[in-house]
Amino acid sequence: MPSRQTYDDIAEPYRDSKHLPFRHAIERFTGFQLLGDLRGKAVLDPASGDGIYARQFKRAGASVVTGVDVSQEMIALAEAEPPFRDDFLAQKPFTGFTASNS
């Protein structure tokens, strides 16, 4: 299993890879098909990385989105972007963030 340091080391390239066209066509499409209507629901995004999908869940109407990742660098990228900037949550051994409509 890769170490926490490994994920910290690749945080920015990983974030950039999430914007490749195949990621949108496969990952996002499949994820939203499986999840269905998110309006008003609470969503947990495990291994959330930089929060790209957590932000999309929020835009799709989820009332609360909680992202969790083992990498401090991934979480730092996630909390740098709205809506997670002001709703950072850190817990050991994981680090996470939560966004709500409150």
Instruction: Tell me the pTM.
Output: 0.70
Cα 52 from Cα 83, distance rounded (Å): 11
The pLDDT value recorded for residue 84 is 61
| Distance in angstroms (rounded) separating the CA atoms of residues 14 and 30 | 19
Which pLDDT score, from 0 to 100, does residue 60 have? 92
Model pLDDT, residue 41: 93
Q: Are strands 95-100 and 42-46 parallel, antiparallel or unpaired?
A: unpaired
CATH of 4-100, one of 2.40.50.140, 3.40.50.150, 1.10.3720.10, 3.40.50.720: 3.40.50.150
**Would you state the pLDDT for residue 69?**
83
> Per-residue confidence of the chain (102 residues) as pLDDT tens digits?
555 567 788 888 888 888 888 887 888 888 889 999 999 998 888 888 888 888 888 889 988 888 888 888 888 888 887 766 444 444 444 445 555 555
